[in-house]
Each structure stands twice: as C-alpha cells, then as structure tokens.
Amino acid sequence: MALEIEGGGGDQIAWFVNLMRVRMGFPREVFDRVVLPVVVGLRESREAGEVADRVLVRRLAVAARALELRRGLVLPRGMPPELVGGLAHRWTWAVVMAALADAFVMEGDAAGAGGTRWTRLDQVAPAEAMVWLREDPDVTEALRAFLSGNGDGARTLAAIVRRAEADAFGAERVPSTAENAAPDVGEPGAVAGTAAVPAPADRSPESPIAQAFLEWLRDAARHGAIEMNTPKGVICLLEEGTLIADPVAFREFARRVTTGECLQPSGTTATGRDLEKVVRREVMRAGWHVASVNEDGLVNGSLDGGGTVRGLLLRPSIKVLRHGGPVAGAVCTSIATVGG
C-alpha cells in the first residue's frame, strides 16, 4: 500500500521523529544529539513548503520501517555475538541515515555525483556523530558505499532500505540492479501493510473485546474513575502519546468485569486472569500501538514526578482523552549511550 500523507507536514515530521526515537532505543539525550539535528538540518536546508516537507516525511516513513527490519538482524553479518552489542548502535544510526539518503539530494545536485549524499551527511550530521561513526571502519565504509551508490559495498544497507521502501510505497519505488535486496531481509509481501504510518483515526478493530476495553478506558479516564499519570496508574499521558500500563490496565478491566462494574465483552466468557490475557491479546492484535525495540512490544516511560511505567504506547490517532490532558513524562530506554 502506498504511503499517503495528510495534514500538516510539520505534524507528520514530529510524529515520525518520535516513532524513530522509540524504535532506535537511544536515550532521549543521545537521540537529540546525534539524530534530531540531522532531521532539523534537512528541513531547514530544503526550501520551506509542502513539497519539501513531503519529501522529508516520505524518507522518515522509510526510516521508521527500516528500523523494524533492522531489529533482529546481526550487523555486520558474521560478527561473533559477544561483539555485536558494542557495534549495534552505530549500525542502527547508519540504517536511519541510509533511509534518509534521498532527502540529502538537493535540487540542482548532479544525479550522478557519487559523493553528493555523503558530503551532505557530513554537513548536516553533528561532528560528534561523524567522529563516533568513524570509530567503526566497517559501518563507516558500508554507509559511505550506500550513499555513493557503490554496488556490492552497499548491499547490507540497501537490502534493508529497499525493502522498507517497498513496504512503505508499494510498487512505486523500483530498486536499481546494484541495490537488489538480500534474501535475509525477507520478501516484501511477507509483511506488506505493516509500514510505520499513522493509522486512520479511531479505526474500529475487528475484535469487539478490544473495542469494549477501549471504550471502558475512555469512559473511566473521562470520569476520573482510574488512576492516571502515576507509577501505579492505568494510563499515563506521555509526550509521545498515551501509554496503557501493562498489566495494570488489563487486570483492572478484568477485575471490574468480574465484579459487575463493567459488562462482559461480547466474544468471550472468560473471567479473572483468563479475561485479562484475552483482552491483552486482542488489544495487541488491534494494532493500535507503536512498535518498540522490545520484542514484547512494550515501551518504558519516565515520569516527570519520579518513577517509571511500562506498557503499550498508543498511536496518536487513537485517543483516550479527546482533548488531551497534562503530560506526565516521556518514553525512555536503558540502551547504552553513544560513547559506549
């Protein structure tokens, strides 16, 4: 399915930037130092306007999808497991920069100038990020080869980026011969339709169980019937969206159904812990949440008043409080810093 961009370009850019930060797993301060300046630099260097924003949004969508594909891949290939951890963050950064590559080319640049995109990266990326990148010659050469269109040397990153483009844009983008996707990335059709794009607002899931849970959550939040924005809260309003605490929210819903405070959802006769598991499964299947770097799909949130929460981060299009509310914190992770 082709990516369709609606609404203000600035809002779309901000949404994808937040999604990328969650998927990269970098601490906020590190992301803000080595990734965010690239996006800001690209937007400022391009001509302001809808067309320029559209180009950047499309590349951010590819980057977000590429991060999903990168998860679970051992890069560089053949690296002993005990050495992978120390190299993972540079390769993740390189995947994002490769996905953004088309936004590096400005109008008037020579299409065949191999060094143009690498030069542009050097211009918009923070100096400390480039110094950090060059500490690993392998990933530096792989990214340079991709940005320069250097055939075989670009295959590792090209496999990920071209697959991400296929998922985000459908048949619109045809990869060049030198950039054919490697088989270990998988066939595009295998996960078609899973590109990281905003879901239509309040699209109802097929599961009446998930819908019943969401309706209860909205009603309880609106009437102040659940605890919010605390380490023990059912939901927390973070900068990136509403976080549903797991397992707290599902357990509380199951408890209220059991006590008769809520109606039994149609489609199940389960009660207690069994109902909790069923509801959680159906909500996960509904696809309302943003995928995270964690295998269980959960993200960690840091609250401004102290403490942390863990749960499902809802997409911005899925509203719990229609008019929002006080933001209590932001998504966080425990991944090593750039210097590590």
Tokens of 337: 């810093």
For residue 272, name the pLDDT band (cuts at 50, 70, 90): very high
Please tell me the predicted confidence (pLDDT) of residue 100.
92
pLDDT digits (tens, 9 = 90+) for 19-59: 898 888 888 889 999 999 999 888 877 555 555 678 888 89
| Domain contains 198 | no
Q: State what percent of residues in the chain have pLDDT above 70.
A: 72
pLDDT at 21: 87
Averaged over 310-320, what is the pLDDT?
87
Residues 19 and 83 in one domain: yes
Structure confidence at residue 175 (pLDDT): 43
User: Are 29 and 149 within one domain?
Assistant: yes
Specify the pLDDT at position 114. 47
| Per-residue burial over 15-48, b = 16 or more CB atoms within 10 Å of its CB, e = otherwise | bbbbbbbbbbbbbeebbebbbbebbebbbeebee
Task: Determine how many CB atoms are found less than 10 A away from the CB of residue 49.
Answer: 9
Confidence of residue 78 (pLDDT cuts 50, 70, 90): low
The pLDDT of residue 337:
32
Alpha-carbon distance 140 to 157, whole Å?
Answer: 11
Q: What is the mean pLDDT of residues 217-233?
A: 93
Q: pLDDT tens digits, residue range 155-194?
A: 778 888 988 888 887 644 444 433 433 334 443 333 323 2
CA proximity to 22, closest of 279, 234, 315: 315
- pLDDT (mean) for 105-115: 50
Q: Is the pLDDT of residue 110 over 50?
A: no
At 212 the pLDDT is 92
One domain, residues 48 and 139: yes
Q: Which of 145, 165, 191 is the last residue of a domain?
A: 191
Does 163 lie in the same domain as 15?
yes
For the chain, how many structural domains are there in total? Answer: 2
* Per-residue model confidence (pLDDT) at position 192: 29
42 and 113 assigned to the same domain: yes
Residue 291 has pLDDT above 60, yes or no: yes
Whole-number pLDDT of residue 47: 57
pLDDT bin (cut points 50, 70, 90) of residue 74 is: low
Among candidate residues 189, 186, 171, 165, the one with its CA nearest the CA of residue 103: 165
Range of the domain at 30: 9-191
Residue 80 has pLDDT above 60, yes or no: no
Is the predicted pLDDT of residue 213 greater than 90, yes or no?
yes
Extract the runs of DSSP E, i.e. beta strands, from 168-248: 235-238, 241-245
Tell whether 101 and 245 lie within a shared domain: no
pLDDT score recorded for residue 101: 87
Q: What is the pLDDT of residue 104?
A: 79
Mean pLDDT confidence for 238-248: 91
pLDDT tens, position by position, 129-154: 999 999 988 889 989 888 887 655 56
Residues 152, 239 share a domain: no
- Residue 58 within any structural domain of the chain: yes
Do residues 320 and 216 share a domain? yes
> Radius of gyration over alpha carbons of the chain, in Å?
21
Please report, in angstroms and rounded to a whole number, the separation of the first and last CA atoms in the chain.
39
Q: What is the mean pLDDT of residues 211-234?
A: 93
Contact residues for 230 (Cβ-Cβ < 8 A; gap 6+): 236, 303, 305, 307
Residue 125: C-alpha distances to residues 34, 94, 163, 235 (Å) = 7, 12, 25, 36
Give yes or no for residue 199 having a pLDDT over 70.
Answer: no
Query: Which pTM was predicted?
Result: 0.55
Higher-confidence residue of 121 and 48: namely: 121
**62: in domain:** yes
As given in the structure block, the two tokens for residue 143 are 């990214």
Average pLDDT over residues 248-275: 92
